[in-house]
Structure 1
Amino acid sequence: MKRLRITAALVAALAAVPAWGQAPPVSATHEGTPPAGKAGGTSVAAKAPAPARAASATLSKANKAREGGDLEGAIGLYRQVVKVSPRQIDAWWYLGTSLYDLERWGDARAAFDHVVRLDKNNGAALAFRGLCTFRQGQYVEALDDLQRARALGVSGNPEVGSVARFHAGLAMTRLSRFEPALNTIGEFALEGNDSPQIIEALGVATLRMPLLPSELPPEKREMVMMAGRGSYFMAMRLAPAARTAFEELALRYPDVPNVHYAFGIFLMSEDADRALKEFERELSVQPAHAPSHIQMAFEYIRRADYASARRHAKDAVTLAPTDFIAHRLIGQIELETGDTQAAIASLEQSRRLEPNSPTVYFTLAKAYARAGRDADAEKARAEFTRLDRLSRLQRNGVTAVGGMTP
């Protein structure tokens, strides 16, 4: 079967999302892909030294081989080019994409490493390197590249950007970063994408399962799809449909971890009293479920019921002592109840646990200002502004889907 090119893969069913267990459907062998590198181009002046002229001729042969579908032949020729001209960015790029198409992830990643070294702001190369790293199971490193690619943008390659964004969401889920995963995958829902792959990915994140969809046991797929539909409707602001989906999920799977929690997250903006009951039900299923305590603390802070908020926030810290949000909540409660020094101590602990959370710096700036530490307050405000801008770049300004976020 003819290899799918990137545009064909996107037009088919799902806009840059692969079938599980298959390679991401990005083939960069189509024309117009190479980035505008700063370190070299495909043309060589007629008066260039003989090795450079030979490299140019070899590059032309490699391009023709690639365009004709002879990827193995093209790879050998591109390797000849970069051996003679190691700063030839187009050769490194096409070497990487050819290897990627053959699913030779390690070699492809090494080629994209060279592209990034030659042009550190090349979003497309970072995206491809992140996709290769994802396929190697190195999700932390993959997520870093995929998020950097998104912040920089993938100029001229929106399809590659979509693939990278989707795999960033999958990596977040695999790393138990469920709220950011829901935000990221939920963006596809906001674009009207209700493909089975999107629904399934949403469902896995909604039920807080640190798995790739390809790792999901078959007997859990129906439940996951129900949860995903609820989150899809939630992202689309279709509250009645979302409520129906989550109610059905809770009725059919009342004893499954995170089902009541997911329903409670939805209810937070619709029926906060019932949301609290769902979080209590989740705690009956999972007594050590810190996220339920965290969400209940958020709600009680909103109601200015600081005694109840403190109880749940302290339970969250006990259950999850390295959860920076739990410490931040304690700090916020102390600040609201007038114990500024205790608030600063808790917020600084939250910052140590997660130095890249804008909200921690926002609350810490308030605490420093209240304590009369004006210089520290100004530094915290500046860091909040920097991190908030970075967060918006990475999230593209899309409203959160997965409950209260950092």
Structure 2
Amino acid sequence: MRRIHFSFSLLLMIVPACFPQTEARTAPPTVTPQITSSIADARTLITQGRLQDAARELDVLAAQQPEPAGVERLRGFIAYQQNKMTEASEAFAAAVRQDPTDMESLQMRGVILFRTGQAAEAIPLLEKAHAAISSSNIDPNYVLALCYITTGRYDDARHAFAAEYGFPYDSAAAWLITARLLLRRELVQPAADAAQKALQADPHIPLAHQLLGEIALAKGDTAGAIAELEKEREINPLDGELYERLGDAYLRNGRGADAQQALDRAILLEPNSTGPYILLGKALLYQQNPVMATMYLERARAMDPANAMTHMLLGQAYRTTGRREDAAHEFETAAKLKNPGTKTQASSSDSQQRP
């Protein structure tokens, strides 16, 4: 089963992408036109990606007494984009002290607490920001839901995810999106429980049985996986990823012909996905058909040359058809991909491994 992990780089990417749309706050009457112009210049430099130039402009403004409003918030955004979390947190905290209504700075402090492993401390800040603003650089529902998951508050996470997508919080869709995101965090049993709740709310909701099938497959329960995935096929018969998962389950269960049929369907529906080609090559090797296996595996190699499994299986296919030099090259490539920097050929035990 493919694991999809939440990446902190997502948060890092969202801010600079959305920052240019952030409107400037109304300047207090005591701010001179020159200061207002300097802040606007710094904002423009940030949107252009000239962070160092913007920082120098803001440093000059920060040295003034009193410090002009809005400077610390911009300094916080710069530090955040540079992944300087301590500096960013201090700047956003200063911005909130200067202006307690600055919910974006408050929210960003919550995001930073989450990123630095302090989800429980982040929750009250994000909840306050969420109550005050409907949109901003970092979506409050999403980050708040991740904090709830980290602290084991799964029902609160479901409410937040439901708000993110506009679902009723007790709907099948809300349970299912929660299940999927719990699984991304490798919380397998809570994910399975949420998927079951989705099916209780709507027995015909697509993707719930597929998620349960993936969980069973990851646990090595191929019979359970097949049962769930076949139920999904009845509900959602045109999903290429479903047939890939089903083909994998059949293959693990020794049902080579069923696997081949499922994977053929997967390729028809998702011709640009490498997974079905790799699995189909493996299925054909099981069926002692290395020539056909080679065709599919070479296609997979062309689509994704960095996949070590493809090279290993292709080496086995080449060896079976007598192409020993090509086989040795594929085994060596597979070994290098598994262990970057190695200069040795794949071990004889690897090269002799049968599919």
Q: CA deviation at 1:223?
A: 4.4
Indicate conservation of the 8 Å contact 1:364/1:377, yes or no.
yes
Give the one of 201, 207, 219 matched to 2:167. 219
Deviations 1:127-159 (A, max 9, x none): xxxxxxxxxxxxxxxxxxxxxxxxxxxxxxxx6
Structural mapping, 1:112-261, within 5 Å: 192=150, 217-219=165-167, 223-231=172-180, 234=183, 239-261=188-210
Counterpart of 2:132? Answer: none
Aligned length: 240
Structure 1 residues without counterparts, runs of 5 or longer = 1-14, 27-65, 79-90, 113-122, 126-158, 164-184, 204-212, 391-406
**1:311-368 C-alpha deviation (Å, 9 max, x unpaired):** 2112222232332211222211111221111111110112223333332223222222
> How much is the aligned-residue C-alpha RMSD, in angstroms?
5.1
Rg (Cα) greater in structure: 2
Which of residues 256, 259, 275 in structure 2 aligns to 1:306?
Answer: 256
TM-score (norm 1): 0.46
Matched, 1:357 2:307: yes
Contact 2:308 2:338 in 1 (8 A): yes
Aligned-partner Cα distance in 1 for 2:246–2:280:
13
Instruction: Say if 1:102 and 1:272 are closer, same or farther in 2 by CA, change over 3 A.
Output: same
For 1:150, the equivalent position in structure 2 comes to none
Q: How does 1:7-406 map to 2 (within 5 A)?
A: 71-72=39-40, 74=42, 92-95=50-53, 192=150, 217-219=165-167, 223-231=172-180, 234=183, 239-270=188-219, 271-388=221-338
- Using CA pairs below 8 Å that are at least 6 residues apart, which structure has the higher relative contact order? 1
Cα distance in 1, alignment partners of residues 324 and 151 from structure 2: 48
Query: What TM-score do you get using the length of structure 2 for normalisation?
Result: 0.51
Distance 2:224 2:334 in 1: 34
Give the gaps of 5 or more residues in structure 2. 1-7, 20-34, 58-72, 85-111, 117-142, 341-355
User: Residues 230, 361 of structure 1: CA spacing in aligned structure 2 closer, same or farther, 3 A cutoff?
Assistant: same
How far apart, in 1, do the equivalents of 2:321 and 2:209 lie? 40
Change in Cα spacing, 1:98 to 1:351, as seen in structure 2 (3 Å) is farther
Q: Is the 8 A contact 1:366 1:377 kept in 2?
A: yes
Contact 1:16-1:25 within 8 A present in 2 as well: no
Return the offset for 1:17.
7.8
> Does the 8 A contact of 1:331 with 1:343 survive in 2?
yes
Report what 1:35 is aligned to: none
